[in-house]
Structure 1
Amino acid sequence: MANSALEVQALSKRIGNKLIVDGVSFQIQKGEIFGLLGPNGAGKTTIIRMIVSLINRTGGKVFIDGTDIDSNFSEAMNKLGAIVENPEFYKYMTGYQNLKHYARMSLSPISQERIDEIVKLVDLENAIHQKVKTYSLGMRQRLGVAQALLHNPSIIILDEPTNGLDPQGIREFRQHLRTLADQGIAVLISSHLLSEIELMCDRYVIIEKGKLIHSASIHEGNDVEQEQLREVIFTVNSSETAIKLLKNLSISNVVKKSEQSIMLMLPYEEIAKINAHLVKNEIAISEITVTRKTLEDRFIEITNQQEEMAVK
């Protein structure tokens, strides 16, 4: 637990006879961006609300930077920053005035220098003295991150932080999160936008019907896939000649995609051998495209497997 910014152990939540969250456990390391994934209604927000103590837990433990929130609540919460739902500010005040207001409510003193440092970190220097009502959604999100960082937490928790942002805003937000992680701050992001999580996160877990059903590194699946068949498209000068050549080698699973492209299902390590053989036999290759499973592909595959297991 020494390097863990957050650890949850067997977290559960029951409402009436319904188990909303069922024994969820995971750890987040310092300097790591961690994704909490799942369809809407899977229990992600309930997990976050229990971590930040907005709702009571039915069972389980939460440790923030090694501190048990049950035995030392104030110390633990002082190591955590969070944005649950959309960040709310006084719109008639400037961004700076809002931050000063939140700084005054902190358990420990927050200096003028710290506020200026955070404003620079989230790239709001040019707008911080404007009224919040003039801010775009992306600027308000960054101001929310600034507010969450004021007291120098070990981890910040963001629930669906890119909702409503345009592509440019999402990209900028992603870059700011990586800057935070590079400074040793852990980030927990809850989202159902898998393409964004794939670009943002280092590791992720999948929550399905309140249960943690999968945990992995973002890049872990690609290493496994190297042992499996991959769809490989070769762009060549003559697909007919290439197919005939490969069939002479008893490679029969060749599909003609066009006059200049063929598709094969190959183990990863066989791609270079096929390429070398084609070139040796004077087939000009201008491109090789290897498909890989996206996080969305893996998510659907894993959740479908869970449904099949439930039926059985």
Structure 2
Amino acid sequence: MSSFALEVKSLTKKIGKKTIVDNVSFQVKKGEIFGLLGPNGAGKTTIIRMIVSLINRSGGEVIINGRDLDDEFTLAMDNLGAIVENPEFYKYLSGYKNLRHYERMALSDIPGSRIKEVTELVGLEEAIHDKVKTYSLGMRQRLGVAQAILHKPSLLILDEPTNGLDPQGIREFREYLRKLANEGTSVLVSSHLLSEMQQMCDRFAIIERGKLVVISSMNEEKETDIHDVEFEVNDSVRAADLVRRYFPDAGLAAKGLQRLSISAARDTIPEINRMLVENEILVYEIINVKASLEERFLEITGKEREAYQA
């Protein structure tokens, strides 16, 4: 059995002479939350719609839990749960009766206790017997997740799942996804809310103009050995002069009277600290500054656009 919940190989979508998705490949590991990021129109939703077979592929392969979608379509899809747009339900039925309806439609047998399990997992125990028309948007999203995982899929795919949710609803939804991942379900999620993706995902891919431009771990340091740090000192102006004199290759910016922002190789940071102390600069704190996902996203997509326009 494959060690990946999802493998996308050279996925391509063309409409006429226009290439919407261009040779995209990535893998989603078992038990991880993988984010698909990109500006509006980058091709994220097209990729997802091809994976779940809502639209045809122009080229490429989709393998779900080791099963090729072209060769074993039914078995591959049985390992998949998805919410591609806002989940739709029979509004005049209760949440429970909606889940019973989906249970009867499932390809594989679902034990009677499973509805209770997924209801508890998404936190709908108190409202599951209420009519769906009384549910808030957040509750409907949670019911959608319950329906999507009812048959215990190995992979859950969500396209913009937090659209319309308030901050509390987004936080709760993030916690439900982490709980699913901890129990072994892999999640592929597309979203434009970068701050939420930073808290939610283990790894991410950035799509720009239909092409995959980077795949990275959320905690991964930049491939170069350059680190951004902030020194808190008693005299940032004098400290900056010393750094310029002894370490002319270091990136440098004074941030107020007691803050000094420095970009330098990792092994250079303690040398800078030693030099400052030897020159009677008081160093109160050294803070490692990690770029936010938003900053990394803008940096990467900005470079891609410059290259495209060149």
Same fold judged by TM-score > 0.5?
A: yes
Aligned residues: 308
Structure 1: where are the runs of 5+ without partners? none
Query: CA–CA distance in 1 between the matches of 2:254 and 2:205?
Result: 39
Task: Kindly state the Cα deviation for residue 247 of structure 1 after the two structures are TM-superposed.
Answer: 5.9
Query: CA–CA distance in 1 between the matches of 2:299 and 2:263?
Result: 19
Cross-structure match for 1:259: 257
Query: CA–CA distance in 2 between the matches of 1:197 and 1:66?
Result: 27
Cross-structure match for 1:236: 233
Query: CA–CA distance in 2 between the matches of 1:10 and 1:265?
Result: 37
CA offsets 1:205-239 (integer angstroms, 9 cap, x no match): 1111212222222222x1535x1152x33223444
Letter in 1 for 2:305: E
Distance 1:266 1:84, change over 3 A: same
1:304 aligns to 2:302 (yes or no): yes
Query: CA–CA distance in 2 between the matches of 1:271 and 1:261?
Result: 15
Out of 257, 267, 270, the residue aligned to residue 269 of structure 1 is 267
Distance 1:20 1:131, change over 3 A: same
Task: Kindly state the Cα deviation for residue 302 of structure 1 after the two structures are TM-superposed.
Answer: 2.0
1:3 aligns to 2:17 (yes or no): no
After the TM superposition, which segments of 4 or more aligned residues of structure 1 sit over 6 Å from their partners? Answer: none
Structure 2: where are the runs of 5+ without partners? none
CA offsets 1:168-221 (integer angstroms, 9 cap, x no match): 21111111111111111110001222222221111121111212222222222x
1:118-137 aligned within 5 A: 118-137=118-137
1:58-69 aligned within 5 A: 58-69=58-69
Letter in 2 for 1:218: M
Distance 1:43 1:279, change over 3 A: same
2:233–2:281: 8 Å Cα contact kept in structure 1?
Answer: yes
Distance 1:101 1:235, change over 3 A: same
Distance 1:267 1:55, change over 3 A: same
Query: CA–CA distance in 2 between the matches of 1:137 and 1:31?
Result: 27
Distance 1:135 1:9, change over 3 A: same
CA offsets 1:5-30 (integer angstroms, 9 cap, x no match): 11122211121221211221211111
Cross-structure match for 2:74: 74
Cross-structure match for 1:224: 223
Query: CA–CA distance in 1 between the matches of 2:280 and 2:259?
Result: 15
Cross-structure match for 2:158: 158
Residue identity (%)? 59
1:295 aligns to 2:293 (yes or no): yes
Query: CA–CA distance in 1 between the matches of 2:235 and 2:204?
Result: 43
TM-score, normalisation: structure 1: 0.89
Query: CA–CA distance in 1 between the matches of 2:70 and 2:263?
Result: 54
TM-score, normalisation: structure 2: 0.90
Aligned Cα root-mean-square deviation (Å): 2.4
Distance 1:301 1:130, change over 3 A: same
Distance 1:129 1:310, change over 3 A: same
Distance 1:240 1:142, change over 3 A: same
Letter in 2 for 1:235: E
Letter in 1 for 2:291: K
Query: CA–CA distance in 2 between the matches of 1:172 and 1:280?
Result: 50
1:250 aligns to 2:246 (yes or no): yes
Distance 1:166 1:287, change over 3 A: farther
Task: Kindly state the Cα deviation for residue 284 of structure 1 after the two structures are TM-superposed.
Answer: 4.2
Distance 1:45 1:165, change over 3 A: same
